[in-house]
Every structure is written in structure tokens, then in C-alpha cells.
Amino acid sequence: MITTIIVALITAVVGPVAVTWVKAKLERKKNKNPMAEALEASGLIDQQLDDIMKELNCDRVWVAQFHNGGHFYPTGKSIQKFSMFYEKCSPSLPPIQTTFQNIPVSLFNKSLSQIHEKGEIEILNVEVEENTFGVDVLTSQFKTKSLCMVGLYDLKDHLIGVMGISFIEEHNVLTSEWIYIRQKVGVIGTLLSEYLSSTNK
């Protein structure tokens, strides 16, 4: 209990500092060209994912972002899709990033609806839990036993993506780990939000 409180207090201080650091880092990009901005933003996000891999000792961490992907006929309404833009995985696992490109949100309606409403999903053991929120393709096919998925939000609190963390062995995410994950989600969401908003200026 005391450890959890201490971690929470540290995170309360470190979290805002990290977000401020990210904003200051991105503020210096204003005069850079689009390629330089993209590479710097990607580098900062990669660093966050490396930190998560080391801290949680997980087997895979990835970030997917929502985007438009064509239009419905005949109304012209945009088709909502997502793609996996960032991924880190242990050497023993094959990457899955190329598998999840331009995926209609309708194919993962259960999991994305849960994240949209609750902010996150945790599946302790996909082999025994009845409700896996329709993410079986992320588990059985890719040696995943435990999985958590957390929504990524922009500075206006709009859901812009999802971060997934998975383990090949059963793993119960501890309270202190959830605090850490939510802090990292805030930093990555800020990075994505600042980068996306800078590309629209």
C-alpha cells in the first residue's frame, strides 16, 4: 500500500514534468521541415516505447492511430480505419505492424467501443477468460497470453489512437504498473497530438 502511494506521488510529479518536457521539445520544431518533424516525433515516441519494454519487461508494445481510409459510396462519408504506426517486440517474436494497416474500426468494434467508453482493457489470460473483447487475432495468432490496451487522447481529450502491451506468459498488471502505463499514455498522446496539430498549420 505504501509503495503504491509513493509511486502515485512520484508519478504525479514526474508526469506533468514529462509532458512539459515533451511540449518544450516539440516547440523547437516550428522552423523544421516536415521530414525533420516526422523523424523527431517518431524518435521521441520510440524512446517512450523502449522505456515501457524495459520497465514492464513486456514482450510487445505498439501504438495504433485512427485515420480516414477512403469513402463510402454513394454518400462520400469517410471510412474510419486504424493502422499500427509504432511497435517494439522481443527478439523471439515476429513483428505484427505490417499486418495491421488500414484496418476498418468495424472489425474491432467490441474492443474499440470498450476503450472509447472506459479508456482501457485488460485481459489476464486469453485462454480462460470468456470476454476477450474480440481481439483473438492479436492473441492466439501472435503468442499472446496477457494483453492490455489503453486509449491515447489528444490535448482536447479526443481518442486518437490505442497503445497495446502484451505478454507471452500470464501477467497481472499491478497497480504501480498501471500508474506508470497511464503516465506514458499521457506523454505519447501529447507527442502525437502536438505532431499532428503542427502538420495542419
Pairwise pLDDT comparison (16 vs 85), residue with the higher score = 85
Question: What local confidence, expressed as pLDDT, does residue 137 receive?
Answer: 74
Please give the model's pTM, rounded to 2 decimal places. 0.80
Assess contact for 56 and 177: CB atoms under 8 A.
yes
Instruction: Work out the average pLDDT over 149-174.
Output: 93
Residue 8: is its pLDDT beyond 70?
Answer: no
**pLDDT confidence of residue 56:** 96
For the cut 60, the answer to whether the pLDDT of residue 3 exceeds it is no
Non-local CB neighbours of 72 within 8 Å, separated by 6+ positions: 78, 79
**pLDDT tens by residue, 33-45:** 888 888 999 999 9
- Sign for the CA dihedral angle at 51, 34, 64, 66 comes to positive
Any idea which of 23-27, 73-77, 79-83 has the lowest mean pLDDT? 23-27
74 versus 117: the higher-pLDDT residue is 117
| Residue 172 DSSP label | -
Largest CA distance in the chain: 59
Q: Is 95 helix (H, G, I), strand (E, B) or coil?
A: coil
